[in-house]
Amino acid sequence: MNYVQKNPLPIPEMGTHHSVPVQMDTIFDWEYALKAQQLMALYEKGKAGTWNATDLNWDQEVSIEKLLANRRAMSGGQSPFNRLLNPPVELSEDQITEFNLNMNAWMLSQFLHGEQGALVATAKIVQTVPNEEAKFYAANQVADEARHVEAYHRYLTEKLGVSYPVNTELGKILDATCSDSRWDVTYLGMQIMVEGLALAAFGMIKLMMMDEPLIQDITTRIMQDEARHVAFGVISLQDLYTHGALTPQEMREREDFIIECTYLMRDRLLMGQVYQRFGWDEDLWLKWAVTTPFMAAFRQLLFSKIVPNLRRIGLLTPRVRDAYEKIGILKYEHEKDSTEELLSAPPKEFLELIANMSGGQQAAPLQ
């Protein structure tokens, strides 16, 4: 892919490159048993679902300003942002436009950084996972992740024109996932936690930018890939934690890892970088991000795939359940997991709220 980076991504404080020390065993599988038919079927789906980022229509215009102007026209000339989201200060229409642009840019930037994390973590799985079927699928996923990085990077630098460095807390999760020598913890951190959360967030991007066709196309393609990636994690881990293969101490370590990741995702991925860039009172806006009904519902929805998937693999243990009950996400326990349903729609009440914010338009279907 050859394109001009009109607006290169900002470099984080750590510099242009970041090293994560890791010691791990590289495992060869000389048996080639290929008995895990669920994984082999997923591998075939992955090969059949391959697409090329150059197939996208990169010539189409991307203008958040026009998108919001159209929404204002459909809602009687005024954005419903202040009324529906009740920000801590009244924002002008120009401020609302700029804030929406930066909110979307921040989220898409974190998607980009998460995709690079998935690229690295899944390459690590190829080396460390003991069975050949998982190596096959992980290798296919590595190619997927490179394509996702390519597509998001071009969209941010060429089309949207605004971007952000990696969020500190997301960076911590990626570091922990990539530095742990245990192959199943790499799965937990990436396929179950990071990609499970991203899968729900992708759906929100489709809803919030339903009238921007290029990001709709990118997100639809990536969601289909990511749904398989999350299922890959569930299938690979579904027998490990329920058959007594790990000691109580080892299980507790996995529980601690999950709980820590959950709190980092829920309580720290709050767009503080956006408020800093605007020069706004960060404490005031972070409080808004935690307490306003829309933002609170969004943060809970992010776990709608993670919770049933943890149940499926046997890690929705009493300790994890207690932590999840306290933050209100245990309600997703009985939703379908990723082996039963690759993609799922957000709750009806959330779709209605998005429709109100978008001038009454119907939400784009999640495909």
DSSP per-residue codes, 295-335: HHHHHHHTTTTHHHHHHHHT---HHHHHHHHHTT-GGGTTS
Domain annotation covers residue 30: no
Neighbours of 295 (CB within 10 A): 15
Domain tally for the chain?
1
Lowest mean pLDDT, pick from 75-89, 143-157, 291-305, 341-355: 341-355
Domain range for residue 250? 42-49+63-357
Helix (H, G, I), strand (E, B) or coil at 29: coil
The HSE-up count of residue 174 (CA atoms within 13 Å, CB side) is 22
- At 349 the pLDDT is 57
- At 366 the pLDDT is 34
List the one residue out of 241, 243, 215, 244 whose CA is nearest residue 320: 241
Tell me which of 3 and 224 has the higher pLDDT: 224
- At 204 the pLDDT is 80
Residue 160 carries which DSSP code? I
- At 309 the pLDDT is 96
**What ranges in the chain are assigned the alpha helix state H?**
37-48, 64-74, 81-85, 93-128, 132-154, 168-179, 183-187, 195-208, 213-237, 248-268, 272-278, 282-291, 293-301, 306-313, 318-326, 348-357
Q: What are the tens digits of pLDDT across the range 237-259?
A: 999 998 888 999 999 999 999 99
CATH number at residue 221: 1.20.1260.10
- At 355 the pLDDT is 65
- At 5 the pLDDT is 78
Lowest mean pLDDT, pick from 73-82, 93-102, 142-151: 73-82
At residue 254, what is the residue type? Answer: R
Domain annotation covers residue 362: no
pLDDT for residue 363 is more than 60: no
Domain annotation covers residue 331: yes
Tell me the percentage of the chain whose pLDDT exceeds 90: 66
pLDDT for residue 167 is more than 70: yes
Q: Can you tell me the mean pLDDT for 6-17?
A: 87
Asked if residues 186 and 178 have their Cβ atoms less than 8 Å apart, the reply is yes
Q: Tokens 């935690």 — which residue?
A: 290
End-to-end, the C-alpha distance of the chain in Å comes to: 26
Asked if residues 315 and 233 have their Cβ atoms less than 8 Å apart, the reply is no
pLDDT for residue 357 is more than 70: no
pLDDT for residue 358 is more than 60: no
Going by pLDDT thresholds of 50, 70 and 90, the confidence category of residue 211 is confident
Averaged pLDDT score across all residues of the chain: 89
